[in-house]
């Protein structure tokens, strides 16, 4: 297939995914919907999975990690209530897809990935696709990214045993944090935390999810 024809075909599949899978499942936040209609998810997976890029499923990427299911990316993005002018931190860059979805909406995206190889591939994709408002760092994201804190929103794309204190500390008052908390292998609860004026966190649940483990000092480490 010619390049342009293929891009048109992928765009059509993307629109069907959003309209037939994500919106019926309850994704409503307008900016999130528009962003997911725009970001070419097929460019964030290896060639052999391209045909599956617009099915609403997680897919394998390198280092035994996964690109999250589109619905979950939509749910997490919407829960952050992102708007232009915001500064957002993501832990677990993986393929870079969720960071790109955020980058379409907010001013600045900071993202941290512990695997150098994945980080490099994501960085290459950001450059290829022209995402100049994403800054990536390789390292343990459970400590956040102090240099650019505080953030309006923080999203963690890996399952944690508890909410890392360092991350909660890096939220603005009124800021939102989305994180899967629970078992290392198995099911976690996707939690939404909002920082109140008194510094305390108001918690609510967004449902059950299944993520790869958050590995690091304030995540799953040798002591756990």
Residues identified as active-site = 68
C-beta of residue 138 within 8 angstroms of C-beta of residue 92: no
- What 8-state DSSP symbol labels residue 12? H
Q: Are strands 59-60 and 108-113 parallel, antiparallel or unpaired?
A: unpaired
Question: Does position 114 bind ligand SAH by CB under 6 A?
Answer: yes
C-beta of residue 207 within 8 angstroms of C-beta of residue 189: yes
Q: 175 or 216, CB closer to ligand SAH? A: 216
Residue 83 to residue 108: CA distance in whole angstroms: 11
Residue 113 to residue 101: CA distance in whole angstroms: 17
With the CA atoms of 186, 24, 38 and 114 taken in that order, what torsion angle do they form, in degrees rounded to the nearest 10?
-10
C-beta of residue 118 within 8 angstroms of C-beta of residue 97: no
Question: Does position 167 bind ligand SAH by CB under 6 A?
Answer: no
Tokens of 34: 């528009």
CB of 93 to ligand SAH, least distance (A): 6
Question: Does position 14 bind ligand SAH by CB under 6 A?
Answer: no
Of residues 142, 168, 171, 192, which one binds ligand SAH by CB under 6 A?
142
Tokens of 111: 């993202």
Q: 91 or 209, CB closer to ligand SAH? A: 91
Tokens of 82: 């992102």
Question: Does position 160 bind ligand SAH by CB under 6 A?
Answer: no
Of residues 74, 82, 153, 216, which one binds ligand SAH by CB under 6 A?
216
CB of 30 to ligand SAH, least distance (A): 21
Of residues 70, 74, 82, 141, which one binds ligand SAH by CB under 6 A?
141
**Residue 66: other Cβ atoms inside 10 A:** 17
Of residues 10, 21, 35, 65, which one binds ligand SAH by CB under 6 A?
65
Of residues 75, 98, 109, 191, which one binds ligand SAH by CB under 6 A?
98
Question: Does position 67 bind ligand SAH by CB under 6 A?
Answer: yes
Of residues 158, 178, 181, 209, which one binds ligand SAH by CB under 6 A?
158
Residues that bind ligand SAH (CB under 6 A): 65-68, 91-92, 94-95, 97-98, 112-115, 118, 140-142, 157-158, 212, 214-216, 219
């Amino acid at each position: 297939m010619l390049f342009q024809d293929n891009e048109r075909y992928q765009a059509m599949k993307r629109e069907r995914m959003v309209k037939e899978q994500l919106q019926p499942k309850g994704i409503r936040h307008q900016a999130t919907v528009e962003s997911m209609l725009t970001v070419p998810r097929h460019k964030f997976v290896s060639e052999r999975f391209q045909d599956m890029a617009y099915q609403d499923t997680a897919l394998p990427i390198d280092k035994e990690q996964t690109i999250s299911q589109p619905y979950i990316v939509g749910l997490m993005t919407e829960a952050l209530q992102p708007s232009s002018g915001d500064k957002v931190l993501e832990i677990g860059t993986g393929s870079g897809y969720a960071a790109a979805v955020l980058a379409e909406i907010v001013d600045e995206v900071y993202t941290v990935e512990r695997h150098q190889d994945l980080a490099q591939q994501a960085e290459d994709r950001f450059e290829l696709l022209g995402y100049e408002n994403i800054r990536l760092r390789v390292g343990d994201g459970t400590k956040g990214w102090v240099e650019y804190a505080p953030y309006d929103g923080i999203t963690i794309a890996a399952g944690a045993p508890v909410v890392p204190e360092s991350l909660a500390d890096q939220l603005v008052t009124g800021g939102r944090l989305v994180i899967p908390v629970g078992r290392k292998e198995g099911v976690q609860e996707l939690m939404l935390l909002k920082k109140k004026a008194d510094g305390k966190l108001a918690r609510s649940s967004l449902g059950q999810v299944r993520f790869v483990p958050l590995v690091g000092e304030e995540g799953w480490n040798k002591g756990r």
